[in-house]
Amino acid sequence: GAGVSQSPSNKVTEKGKDVELRCDPISGHTALYWYRQSLGQGLEFLIYFQGNSAPDKSGLPSDRFSAERTGGSVSTLTIQRTQQEDSAVYLCASSIEDSKNYGYTFGSGTRLTVV
Amino acid sequence: SQKIEQNSEALNIQEGKTATLTCNYTNYSPAYLQWYRQDPGRGPVFLLLIRENEKEKRKERLKVTFDTTLKQSLFHITASQPADSATYLCALVTGGFKTIFGAGTRLFVKA
């Protein structure tokens, strides 16, 4: 597609439930990132995928969080046993391999509310 | 510890003036620095990138400076317009591809 697509745009879930957030990056972009943004906070790095390399999971806040990227394209971020502190906007971004000149292209995010 | 600081207070300026936003960092050695614009309910949009060996970069009404000695970047919007009102984020890229974002500064341009 023309841009990075994320779904759903909004998700309200009950504490303890699992959620899946989807990201469809720009075709041809080999790098994919997940960040989360809490109100008034900067973007918090979660995980980075680059081509067929092992992902950089160093930003995942707990083992309740996991992500996969199938076929080098679509990515799913899964949060198990959601907690209220997981409420945030989850942003996905993609870039061509060398993002130095082009920056990242972000989706509009998924606003997750855990009640 | 590593920190990126942007003014948390909103910046209010009059249309036509130059807006200057500041990004300070500590304990990083960034290879390059990026600036993004974010509107409410949207993801950040990439604006400009400056490398560690560049002092200044311009794009239309935008100018970015990068002082690795002061560990500071300044982002200028000249001849500001109400449509420039948004939150502006700075982001540092160290070795590799992990990018660290600041919390952003809100800019309001009054007509």
Q: From A1, A2, A11, select the one nearest A90 (Cα to Cα).
A: A11
How many C-beta atoms lie closer than 10 Å to residue B103's C-beta? 18
CB B105 within 8 A of CB B88: yes
Contacts of B103 in chain A (CB under 8 A): 40-42
Q: Where residue A100 falls among pLDDT bands split at 50, 70, 90?
A: low
Interface of B with A (CB under 8 A): 4, 8, 31-32, 34, 36, 41-47, 49, 51, 89, 91, 93, 96-104
Give the bridge partners for A3, in sequence order. none
> In angstroms, rounded to a whole number, what is the distance separating the alpha carbons of residues B104 and B88?
5
Q: Write down the pLDDT at residue B99.
A: 83
Q: Please write the tens of the pLDDT for every residue from A11-39.
A: 999 999 999 999 999 998 989 999 999 98
Per-residue pLDDT, averaged over B45-67, amounts to: 93
* Beta strands, E only, A1-115: 5-7, 10-13, 19-24, 31-37, 43-50, 65-69, 75-79, 88-95, 105-106, 110-114
Average pLDDT over residues B60-76: 94
In this predicted structure, the answer to whether residue B1 has a pLDDT above a threshold of 70 is no
Q: Is the pLDDT of residue A98 over 70?
A: no
Q: Is the pLDDT of residue B97 over 80?
A: no
Tell if the CB–CB gap between B43 and A50 is shorter than 8 Å.
no
